Amino acid sequence: MKRVGSVMVLDIGSQKIKTAVLKSAQDMPFDVVHIGEYDSDGFNGGAVSDLSAASASLKNAIGNSLASCSLKKTTETWVGHSGSHVRSDNIAEIETITSNRLVTQRTENRIRQRVAGQVPAGHMLLHCFLRSSSLDGVNTRSAVGLTGNRLVSRFHLVYTRIAIINNIKQAFQKAGHDVDRFIFNGYASSLSIIDHNERIMGCLVINIGATTCDYIVYQEGRPFLCGSLNEGWIRLAKDVAVGVQIPLNRAEELILAEGTTSDITIGEDQVLNIRNFFGDRSRLTRRHLAKIMGCAVEEMFCSIRDNLKGAVCRGHLPAGIILTGGGALTNGLTYSAENVFGVMAKVGDPVFPGQTRSYSPSWAPLLGLMIHATTEFKASMHPESPLEHITYPITRLWEHMFPCAQDPKEPEGEATI
């Protein structure tokens, strides 16, 4: 069968929609044919806030992306997803094997189906990561083909509310497009900025967007904890706008020009030349501005730290913290993260394999979605010969009727180590 097709990936933010289109051909690597950025409206906190505005933004972004690469539609469409409605959980499943029989792939598939069934009501599964397996107390990467009596498999599930997903799908449908898969933005970001050693050692990746803040913890090469906050870089701008009594857009400019979230020693008493809503000259100093920004960032980081405490994984981050997303470019953010978490922090620049172009941290989710697409795109298997036109549909029908009789797919989004 010839492996051909195309994938469109979208990172939907409250301010910008980033898109990419990739094409695949038989025995050939993916070819990136388009990368673009478009204005976004109608989205907030990873959810639809205005259906008409959201569908109009998607129609513009998708239409321009397809036109730029002379396509009417793509084989699949993958969308990055974030927001406080994203949850995660670690689940262990035990399978008792009688008569010392071999562990088969059907056994592993049956375990995965039971794990997926433990997603809370009203939620949809995004990812099912296999963290570890042990057969009769012996750790193993795969128990298939081994003989034993007791198989323990530990999974990490990432899921979100179905109502939120349905609203996003409705916005896409009004734009004349359908969504095939949703990928957690925190996981996508991590794919483009951390390497094998950082996954193995253990690290925390924080993707700071405009209205959301996604995070994911890796331990022993596998995701251990995921989550998202409905707070992002706009939180800083709003706190500065309220504290100084200036418009929001002026606050954003002030943060980029003079702001920092850490203590400053040079020019800290410098009075900034700005006027408030009433036309009065403000006596705001750089030190005061740094305190306003620092308090907002610390509250956001403390919310993440409290979740790490509950999962007993705060002290297992030897590789430190990697900050990414557009908000990661804020001055002093790494120092604030180090003060809150007590480990080293840095800003991660996203990389897409095979490209020499440099990207800012704001592109991390999209590049991660592209990396995920190049490794997980398997749905576009099209027959070539007349005989395959007959056998291929029959094979797909058999898989649909008897899913347990086939080899299971790898857990969606599972990290490669």
Q: How far apart are CA 354 and CA 4, in angstroms?
A: 20
Residue 95 lies in a domain: yes
Residue 262 lies in a domain: no
User: Structural domain tally of the chain?
Assistant: 1
pLDDT in tens, 63-113: 999 999 888 899 899 999 999 999 999 999 988 887 778 888 888 888 888
Query: Which residue in this structure is represented by tokens 């057969």?
Result: 135
Residue 216 lies in a domain: no
Residue 99 lies in a domain: yes
Q: What percent of the chain has pLDDT over 90?
A: 46
Query: Which residue in this structure is represented by tokens 């804020």?
Result: 330
pLDDT in tens, 134-193: 988 888 878 888 888 888 999 999 999 999 999 999 999 999 999 999 999 999 999 999
Q: Confidence class of residue 395 from pLDDT cuts 50, 70 and 90?
A: very low
Q: What is the DSSP string of 113-164?
A: HHHHTTSPTTEEEEEEEEEEEEETTEEES--TT-B-SEEEEEEEEEEEEHHH
Residue 107 lies in a domain: yes
pLDDT at residue number 220: 86
Q: How far apart are CA 272 and CA 278, in angstroms?
A: 16
Residue 392 lies in a domain: no
Q: Confidence class of residue 309 from pLDDT cuts 50, 70 and 90?
A: confident
Domain span at residue 143 reads 87-160
Q: Across the chain, what does the average pLDDT equal? A: 84
Burial of 98 by CB count in 10 Å (0-12 exposed, 13-18 middle, 19+ buried)?
A: exposed
84 phi and psi, to 5 degrees? Answer: -65, -10
Is residue 245 predicted with pLDDT exceeding 80? yes
Q: Which of 25-34, 277-286, 348-357 has the highest mean pLDDT?
A: 348-357
Residue 167 lies in a domain: no
Predicted model pTM: 0.85
Residue 218 lies in a domain: no
pLDDT in tens, 267-304: 677 777 787 777 777 778 888 888 899 999 999 999 99
pLDDT at residue number 274: 81
Is residue 13 predicted with pLDDT exceeding 80? yes
Question: What CATH number is associated with residue 92?
Answer: 3.30.1490.110
Q: Confidence class of residue 314 from pLDDT cuts 50, 70 and 90?
A: low
